Amino acid sequence: MFDLKQLRCFVAVATELNFRRAAIRLNMTQPPLTRQIQLLEHELGVQLLERTKHSVGLTTAGQVFLVDATRLLNLADQAANTVRRASKGETGRVRVGFTGAAGHEIMPKLLAAAKRALPDIDVVVHELISAAQLEAFAASSIDLGIMRPLGARQKLESFLIELEPLIVVLPANHALAGCDTIPLPSLNGQPFIMHSPDDGKYFHDRIMALFWSSKVMPDFVQYIDQTHTIISMVRAGLGMAIVPASAQRFHFDNVVFRPIRDDTVMVEMIMAWRPDQRIPAVTAVRLMAEAFFSASRG
């Protein structure tokens, strides 16, 4: 079977129609160039060039073969360029998990930044709660995760995307809705929509620690996984809740958000990844995201 070197020699001669100029173009001498053409014709079993003492021309077979030879060389060059770019993290596919809370602003901003900075990397997103992202990391089905920090069986590395306070959300017609801030003791015995201890574990544990330290115990009427569903329950008048300040982005009507008086409990949103990953495109997106979010935080 012929090789790329023989194709390059043939295309050069077929383009120049002159062995001397073709040899100069290929930075080689004429005898080995002639030998490569002879080997190619022998391999194909056809004559590609008509040679006389003073001219070189293409046979009919040579004219047909020139089209395919040129296309094959272009494909080979493209493949080489693609693999070189992939090794530098300039192209590839990156799978990113993200929580619902990150879907409103964080994820769209990241995708827009990635499109500008790394246009040839295909970023594929999967909306998953934080606990499900841990499972996805274990199954190697995501490369990066935008999530709340949870304890994991496997070690993950991360950087901070966003740090925000917990706040109270309550029905707009609640007696406490007129307060500028909500003292925690006022929640004692009140109907309360709580994050689930399973899929909502991060917020459940932070809020429970807040109640225990303040010796406050609301009346937990529902346990819900997702923050936006909790706010929907509050809007329906089923109770109040404590949510991250970013939940105000959901723009629910008939609810109000108020800071917690005298207690500022901060929660984190992080980007996580497996420390053993070595895919250049994943590293490129991670470094771009770290620089982007660091700049956004000022």
**Residues 71-80 pLDDT 10s:** 988 888 877 7
C-alpha distances out from residue 159 to 41, 144, 149, 271, 287, Å: 60, 11, 10, 6, 10
Paired residues of 147 in beta bridges: 270
Res. 1: pLDDT tops 80: no
What is the Cα–Cα distance from 121 to 109, expressed in whole angstroms? 16
What is the Cα–Cα distance from 125 to 99, expressed in whole angstroms? 10
Question: 3-state DSSP call for residue 231?
Answer: helix
Does residue 165 sit in the same domain as residue 291?
A: no
What is the pLDDT confidence band of residue 86, given thresholds at 50, 70 and 90? low
Does residue 255 sit in the same domain as residue 123?
A: no
Does residue 169 sit in the same domain as residue 253?
A: yes
List the CATH number of the domain containing 36: 1.10.10.10
Does residue 187 sit in the same domain as residue 70?
A: no
Q: Domain range holding 285?
A: 92-160+269-297
Q: Which residue has the higher pLDDT, 84 or 55?
A: 55
Instruction: State the pTM of this model.
Output: 0.69
What is the Cα–Cα distance from 40 to 72, expressed in whole angstroms? 15
Give the domain-ending residue among 87, 115, 150. Answer: 87
Does residue 22 sit in the same domain as residue 52?
A: yes
Does residue 144 sit in the same domain as residue 279?
A: yes
Does residue 140 sit in the same domain as residue 171?
A: no
Query: Which of 21-25, 166-170, 262-266 is the least confident region?
Result: 262-266
List the CATH number of the domain containing 193: 3.40.190.10
Does residue 287 sit in the same domain as residue 196?
A: no
The pLDDT of residue 298 is 61
Does residue 200 sit in the same domain as residue 170?
A: yes
* Per-residue pLDDT tens digits for 40-65: 888 888 998 988 877 888 988 889 88
* Per-residue pLDDT tens digits for 167-182: 999 999 999 999 999 9
* Per-residue pLDDT tens digits for 103-161: 888 999 999 999 999 998 999 999 999 989 999 999 999 999 999 998 767 789 999 99
3-state secondary structure 42-58: HHHCCCCEEECCCCEEE
Share above pLDDT 70 across residues of the chain, in percent, rounded to a whole number = 96
Question: Which residues contact residue 67 at a Cβ distance below 8 angstroms, ignoring those fewer than 6 apart?
Answer: none
What is the Cα–Cα distance from 156 to 273, expressed in whole angstroms? 6
Per-residue pLDDT, averaged over 219-237, amounts to 94
Give the domain-ending residue among 29, 60, 87. Answer: 87
What total number of domains does the chain contain?
Answer: 3
The pLDDT of residue 215 is 93
Does residue 154 sit in the same domain as residue 293?
A: yes
Give the domain-ending residue among 23, 55, 87. Answer: 87
Does residue 77 sit in the same domain as residue 209?
A: no
